[in-house]
Amino acid sequence: MRILRVIAIIIFTFIGGYQVFAQTEDKVHLDQADSLIMVKLNGKELRKVVGNVVFRQKGTVLYCDSAYQDVVANALETFGHVRIVQGDSVTITGNKGYYDGNTKQAKMRGNVVLVDKTMTLYTEQLDYDMNASLAYYFGGGRIIDGDNILTSQKGYYDTRTKLFSFKEVVKLVNPQYTLDSDTLQYSSTSKIAYFKGPTDITGKTGNKLFTTDGQYNTISQSSNFTARTTIDYDKYTLTGDSVYYDKQNEYGLARRNVVLFAKEDSTIVEGDIARYNGTTGISKVYGNAVMKNIVSGDTLYLTADTLVSVDDTVNRTRRLFAYHHVKIFKSDLQGKCDSLLYNFTDSTIYFFRDPVLWSTGNQMLADSIHIQMANNKLDKMFLKTNAFVISEDTLLNYNQLKGRSMTAYFNKDSKMDRVFVDGNAESLYFALGEGDTLLMGMNKMECAKMLIRFTENKVSTIRAITAPDAVFIPPHEIEEPARRLKGFAWRKEERPVRADVLVRNKEE
């Protein structure tokens, strides 16, 4: 058999003439074949080689079962077990191929497989530019690179940079997630996926992400999205103009127009920047931070410099901390303070450092205040230390309650029903007549403990639980200093409206 191959090459050489001996490195060399004959097809003289065929051009070797070689055009048409080996890394196999030795363009058709070290590409149609080291497939392709499986209708692969470019119905499947996109680039060296256009990522736990621009590291599972992005978790949805997320460390950072939605209690938190730590269960939002808690058609708005949400998965609790320049607004409650704690588990809100609250016509002050909500409405309010309640009547008089501490109870309409004053209780109420248009006098009482009942936000009874010191002063005997209890402060101008909470004061 070896002799036949040698004879075939000698015959081929004489038939080809001097041109064979004058081959340069740009010519495709026939290294071996079991048989060789000259044929004429479409007016061209071609060499037909059959059996264990091997061609070579510079660092590229081509194997096949049979081939037609156009010596003049420096081109090949190959058949059966076609294999192209370029250098020491890239191998392409297929059923049929065409190779232009001048342009170094290869076309492979049928069961095409491109192997580049640890990466394997499967397709039915592939064109390969050896000058540019660029492979292009169309009509669908599948790439396997370690744990990553990528499919698309079209794709390019640069064998030098190891960079894939995918287009049309792109899918990246990994044991941890699935990525769907219209356009995607993937580096088989860095294992980083870059995407442009609408992209969906679904994690194995069901978490979903939507974006239009960004990159994802399939090894570190960290991602950086530079366009409007939404991440949908089991309990939360996070949206921002740019989002960074490190899955291994469960750390997320969102910037600009951030929206964090808590599904369990219909709470929305907005701000300029949000940070999320899944390990600690702590979310932090700052920069024009606003919380909206929506229940039964009513919304509690809360704004502060910084909002911190803490999830305790062990005790199944969630708390929100608000720091500095805190304001709240609800249809039946408004207020402000320096810092606040909202316990979602028992619907309790704690106000600290110079808190002041308003409910309908009542203003409430104390060193610290906390309220209990029931069915998203005011239920109880606890005023601790230097408690002071003020309301304004139709004649612009100020009815006042004062004591060491107070507990206020509200009815189903969030109106004040009764107030219990515990310690150093003082009350000052103006009696009105003739349809609340005439001042009848002023009631002033002091005792250790006191219970005040209200009807339609007006005092109906005041009962001293211990021996009182009480006096009724007729209108003509009321002097201006006596109209105010010590510590009186009417702060109506500070009462927030809805716009104060939704549009932050940048100068605060």
The secondary structure of 451-465, three-state, reads EEEEECCEEEEEEEC
- The residue with tokens 């570190």 is 220
Average pLDDT over every residue of 212-235: 89
Helix (H, G, I), strand (E, B) or coil at 8: helix
Indicate whether 11 pLDDT > 60.
Answer: no
Residue range 139-159, pLDDT digits in tens: 999 999 989 999 999 999 999
Indicate whether 437 pLDDT > 80.
Answer: yes
**pLDDT for position 331:** 87
Average pLDDT over every residue of 451-471: 88
Strand ranges (DSSP E) for 58-133? 60-70, 75-86, 90-100, 105-116, 119-129
**pLDDT for position 185:** 92
What does DSSP assign to residue 6? H
Percent of the residues in the chain that have a pLDDT greater than 70, as a whole number:
94
**pLDDT for position 504:** 54
Indicate whether 420 pLDDT > 80.
Answer: yes
**Ramachandran class of 81: left when φ > 0, alpha when ψ lies in -120 to 50, beta otherwise:** left
Indicate whether 19 pLDDT > 70.
Answer: no
Indicate whether 12 pLDDT > 90.
Answer: no
What's the predicted TM-score (pTM) here? 0.74
Indicate whether 508 pLDDT > 60.
Answer: no
**pLDDT for position 477:** 92
What does DSSP assign to residue 19? H
**pLDDT for position 21:** 35
Q: Where are the domains of the chain?
A: 1-86, 117-225, 228-348, 355-495
Q: Do domains 228-348 and 355-495 have the same CATH topology?
A: yes
Q: 146-180 in b/e burial notation, b at 16+ Cβ within 10 A?
A: eebebbbebbbbbbeebbbbbbeebbbbbeebbbb
For the chain, the maximum distance between any two Cα atoms, rounded to a whole number of angstroms, is 138
**Rounded to the nearest 10 degrees, how much is the dihedral formed by the CA atoms of 482, 448, 454, 431?**
-30
Q: Return the CATH architecture of domain 355-495.
A: Sandwich (2.60)
Residue range 201-219, pLDDT digits in tens: 898 888 888 999 999 898 8
Average pLDDT over every residue of 232-251: 86
Say how far apart CA 492 and CA 297 lie, in whole Å: 27
Say how far apart CA 479 and CA 250 lie, in whole Å: 66
Q: For 228-348, CATH number?
A: 2.60.450.10
Indicate whether 405 pLDDT > 70.
Answer: yes
Average pLDDT over every residue of 408-418: 88
- Hey, which residues does 306 pair with through a beta bridge? 286, 323
Does the 117-225 domain belong in CATH 1.20.58.390? no
Tell which residue, 199, 167, 196, 165, has the closest CA to residue 181: 199
Say how far apart CA 184 and CA 112 lie, in whole Å: 22
**pLDDT for position 317:** 79
**pLDDT for position 76:** 96
Question: Binning pLDDT at 50, 70 and 90, where does residue 10 land?
Answer: very low
Residue range 69-79, pLDDT digits in tens: 999 999 999 99
Question: Binning pLDDT at 50, 70 and 90, where does residue 25 land?
Answer: low
